[in-house]
Every structure is written in structure tokens, then in C-alpha cells.
Structure 1
Amino acid sequence: MNTRRRFLQKGLLSLSGIALGNTIQSTAQAAQPVKKVKENPFHLGIAGFSFVNFQLDASLAMMKRLDIKYLCIKDFHLPYNSTENEIADFHAKLQHAGVIGYAVGPIYTKSKKEIDDAFDYANRVGVSLIIGVPNPEDLTYLSEKVKVTGIKYAIHNHGPEDKLYPNATAIYNFIKNLHQNVGICFDMGHDARDGQDVIEDIQRYHKRILDIHLKNVTSATAEGSTTEVGRGVINIPLFIKALRNVNYRGKCSLEHEKDMKDPLPGLAESAGYFRGVLAD
């Protein structure tokens, strides 16, 4: 029977230099060598919001310890008005840490002008994906922007508190007749908090899911809160099976909103569990 402990054992074998507590460490050390992890078309990343309380250097140091190489860039690390030199310096730091900035956002826009600014920012940063939250009345304009620029745009769902985009279905109903490069940033935790079936939604909307915010939640209710990937109510082995079944090729970016002033232990446990399930 697949157990959380076994997944953690396998995942922890791929991490180095992270102190997660004597019990987990000793269990991982006692585990037998495992077979080589099968290559997947999707990659583990981190959503920049996980590091809201940390400067870029400290954030990259954590990513290096976690051996995670993909970052969705937030503006508190690279402001929207950054100069060409500041952007170059930013990318140099990422390269030195072995990290690739693959997207920007979430960016909240209230007008067509702000959408233009978001696309200009993404273009200057050199990424091909924007995570955003636009006004519904601007969606037709947004559809034209992705067509002209070649930059994809994924709308982020934020659960029951979000009256516009609470879940994947709500987003899909807005975008289903728009350009295919207007898609969904699937926040699986918020989707579950809105009472949705995360596994079914992956299968139903996979052609429009451009990015995933990977997390788990304590309950599938509005009161549910973010927790480590292996601890919540979402069945992660079934979730990964669904990703493989639909041949998902985007990023699964950890967004750890628990203990945000000390996110490394939770991120490490989540990364280890996710990798353990992949290896099983």
C-alpha cells in the first residue's frame, strides 16, 4: 500500500543538506536505494509568492537547497519598472543559482493599459507566460494580445472568496471561446476549497491549463488552509496519475502559504513527498 512515509523516503533521497528533523532523516537514511525516477514531461517549480518575506538571494539559496530549478517571478523580486540592467542582473543571479525564471505573476490588472504593461514587462523579462487576474470585460482584448505577442496568459483561480474566478470551471467558462493561449493557472488548493474535484478538473480542462500552483489543503471547504503536499485532503498520487494521463507539460510550482516566515521545512517536505510519489 502506498503510504505518505514511503513517498517521503523516496523523495528525501533526492534532497541534500536540508534538516527536516531527526525522525524523517533517520527513516530516509535507512531506506534502500530506489530505482531511477522516470522522466516526466512536467517539472517541479516554485511560485514566487512562497518567498514573499525574503529577498531574492535568500530565496535562491532555498531553491538551491531544494534542488528546484524553476521560478515563477514575483514583482517584489523584480519590480515592474526594472531597467534593462536590473533585469540582466536578476537573470545573472538566477543563472548562478541554477534557476530559470519561467513566468511572471500573478499580476492583477484593471484596464487594457495595465494588460499592455504586463505584456511589456513579460517581454522585457524574457518569459513566455504571464500568470494574471484580469477583468472579464478585458478578456477579448487579452485574447488579441496573446495572439499578437506569442506570450501565453494563465488566469489564476483564488477559491470561494474570489467572486470572478473561484475555480477552474469558472475560468474555463470565460475563456473557452478565446484564443487557446489564454488559459488557466490551476491553483489546486483553491479549487478544492471551492468544493471542486481537483482530479476531474485536471482531466476536464487540461488543454487549457498552462501552469499549476501545487499545494494541498486541510479541508475541501472555504475554511481549509494550505498545508504540506502530503498532508492534506487532495489525493496526490491520483493527481500525478491524472497529469501523466493527460500528458501535462507545464510546471507544477509549489506555493507554500503555511509558515511563510519559515517556508523551507514545508517546501522541503512537499518537494520530497511529490518526488517520492513520482518515483513510486
Structure 2
Amino acid sequence: MSQSKKNRRDFVKKSIFGAVGGVVLAGSNLKAETLPFAKPAELKLAFAGYTFVHFKLKEAIEMIQKVDVNYLCIKDFHLPMDSTDAEIAAFHKRLADANIKGYAVGPIYSKTQEAIDKAFDYAKRVGVDMIVGIPRIEDLSYLDSKVKEYNIRFAIHNHGPEDKLYPNATVIMSHIKDLDDRIGMCFDIGHNMRDGHDPVADIKKYKNRIFDLHLKNVSAAKAEGKTIELGRGVIDIPAVVKMLAKTNYTGHLAMEYEKDMKDPMAGIAESVGYYRGVVDALG
């Protein structure tokens, strides 16, 4: 990391954590507890591509760089599923030039088996080992055959009480528990909370099948809850981080910021600064 980037990161962490995080953390029972890993960086902070749905790739990269995050789950509005090999290579170069790695693709909605085929072909050509997606329940046995064929993991995304297929982690697990262990979940802690389920308890319970995590906070533990800045909601983010560490989580924490989506930079910076302040305070 360049000195200018380090200075910017330190400024974001200190100023935002001091203004927001310190107040919130005071009520989170942090004490002097130490996380069971050597370096905070071992928890890989990322962005869910949907955060930047209103922005072209160039603008998304610039925002990601401003908060010194190095991982992105790729959405198809930035890299279409019918992209050529040359376009995929150019996309990866643009990310690499910004010190960003695309680690997965999705979420991808798959309403037919043919759509599942296309998702796996896309992931293989993009060169990632995980798809975040939403398949039909009746296609789960077909999905099981595809993860075996491609050796690409599939993480089913929960979308809260409005989602008739996968509202929470418990429902996902009930459908996949007997399937290939390369089928797991992209655990959205915000939607899980809006559906009345405790994200900390579910991280502990389903740790072996959580491949990816959408990091966010919500204004209320009910369907009407809205995504807000990471340190301002009803989810105990320090407890989430502690449980991820205790369960030796090795996936990404993909921040999905859905407030002020056409002008998200202030909320993104506050949320990233809060998260880093939490990690610093814990470990």
C-alpha cells in the first residue's frame, strides 16, 4: 500500500470510528477481548457489486479505491454474462490495476436449468470458484450435479421476508443439508435479521455452509427494516465479527450498502470506517 493510501485509510478509520464507532461500540461489550486470529486483515472485507448498481465500472472502482477495499463480488451489469474472453480479460485488468480482485459472481437469479448452465459457464470463463445465486427449489438436485461437474461452489442468497424461496439461513439449510457440501449460502445478515432470525447465532450454527457474507445493518428487526450505515442499526456488528473469527470464517465480508444508492459514498466511507474500527478495537 502506498503511503498516501495508508494515510487516507488511517484518516478514515480514525475520524469515522472516533465520531461514530466509539459511541456504538461502548454498548457492545467489547472490553479487552482479543480475536483469535493473528491480523485483522485475515477477515477479508469486500463489496457486493450490487452496491454500485447505478454506476459504471470506472466509477465503482474509484469508490472502492477511496476506502481501500480489495475484493469485489462481480455483478453482470459490470461484466455481462455474454462477455467475450477478451472482454473478461480486460475487466480483470481494470480491477487488477486498482488492486481489486473479483472473487465471485452474482447474485444470479436462475429460473430454469438452462439459466443454471449459463451461470456455471459464466463463472468458469470469468475464472472464479463461486457463484452467488438464487435457484428454484425444484432445481436443487440439478444444481447438485453442476457443482460436481464444475467444482465451483454455489452460495444461495437469502432475501428476507419478501423472499418466498429463501427468506433466511435456516430455510436455506433445510434445503441443502443433504446436498453436496459445495452448495452453501451467501448469508445476508440484514435480510436474516429482518426475517426475525439472529445472525450471530446463525453464523455459529451454519458455519460450515456459509461461503460468503453480505455485511450490512438494518434499522429494525422486522420486514420494514431498511439498510442503513453499518454502525447505526439493530445488528450487533462487533458480535458478528467476533463470531466470524471464533468460527474461523475464511470467506469474504461483502459490504452491501443499499441506502442512498445514487449517492452512497458518505455512507460507504462511514460503514467501512466503522467496520475497521470494530476490528481494531477487538484485536
Settle same-fold status: TM greater than 0.5.
yes
Give the corresponding residue for 1:168: 169
Q: What's the counterpart of residue 222 of structure 1?
A: 223
CA distance in 1, matches of 2:50, 2:208: 25
Tell me: CA distance 1:13–1:212, structure 2 relative to 1, closer, same or farther (3 Å).
Answer: farther
The aligned residue for residue 178 of structure 2 is 177
The separation in 2 between residues aligned to 1:209 and 1:272, in whole angstroms, is 25
CA deviation after TM superposition for structure 1 residue 211, in Å: 0.2
Q: Is the 8 A contact 1:46 1:253 kept in 2?
A: yes
Structure 1 match to 2:157? 156
TM-aligned CA deviation for residue 134 of structure 1: 0.1
Please give the alpha-carbon distance, in whole angstroms, between the structure 1 residues aligned to 2:16 and 2:79.
36
Please tell me whether the aligned partners of residues 110 and 135 of structure 1 are also in contact (alpha carbons under 8 angstroms).
yes
Alignment of 1:7-86 (within 5 A): 15=9, 24=16, 38-86=39-87
Question: Corresponding residue for 2:268?
Answer: 267
Distance in 2 (CA, whole Å) between partners of 1:113 and 1:24 is 46
Root-mean-square deviation (CA, aligned residues, Å) is: 2.1
Name structure 2 gaps, 5 residues minimum: 1-5, 21-37
- 1:109-258 correspondence to structure 2 within 5 Å: 109-258=110-259
Which position in structure 2 is the counterpart of 1:4?
none
Tell me the CA shift for residue 234 of structure 1. 0.3
1:16 CA displacement: 6.0
Q: For the residues of structure 1 that align with 2:68 and 2:85, how far apart are their CA atoms?
A: 28
- In structure 2, C-alpha distance between the alignment counterparts of 1:26 and 1:192, rounded to whole Å: 27
Matched residue SS, 1:147: helix
**What is the TM-score with the length of structure 2 in the denominator?**
0.87
In structure 2, give the amino acid aligned to 1:81. D
**Partner Cα separation in structure 2 for residue 26 and residue 102 of structure 1:** 31
SS in structure 1 at match of 2:162: coil
Indicate the percent of aligned positions where both proteins have the same amino acid.
Answer: 53
Shift of 1:24: 4.9
Query: Any idea what SS the aligned residue of 1:15 has?
Result: helix
Q: What amino acid is aligned across from residue 129 of structure 1 in structure 2?
A: M
Residue 208 of structure 1 aligns with an amino acid whose one-letter code is R
- 5+ residue gaps, structure 1, are 1-11, 29-36
Offset, 1:182: 0.3
* CA displacement at 1:42 relative to structure 2: 2.5
2:132 alignment partner AA: I
- The answer on 1:278 being equivalent to 2:272 is no
Deviation at 1:117, TM superposition (A): 0.4
Flag the 1:152–1:24 CA change in 2: closer, same or farther, 3 A. closer
Q: Is the CA contact (8 Å cut-off) linking 1:38 and 1:279 kept in structure 2?
A: no
TM-score (norm 1): 0.88
- The answer (yes or no) to whether the contact 1:69–1:98 under 8 Å persists in 2 is yes
Q: Which amino acid aligns with 1:143?
A: D
2: CA distance, partners of 1:277 / 1:26: 11
TM superposition shift of 1:41: 3.5
Structure 1 residue 39 displacement after superposition: 3.5
- Supply the distance in 2 between the matched residues of 1:171 and 1:14 (Cα, whole angstroms): 40
Give the CA deviation at 1:25: 9.4
Q: Could you say if the C-alpha distance between residues 104 and 39 of structure 1 is closer, same or farther in structure 2, counting changes exceeding 3 Å?
A: same
> Structure 2: how far apart are the matches of 1:134 and 1:16?
41
Figure out how many residues of one structure are paired with residues of the other and give that number.
259
The one-letter code matched in structure 2 to 1:15 is R
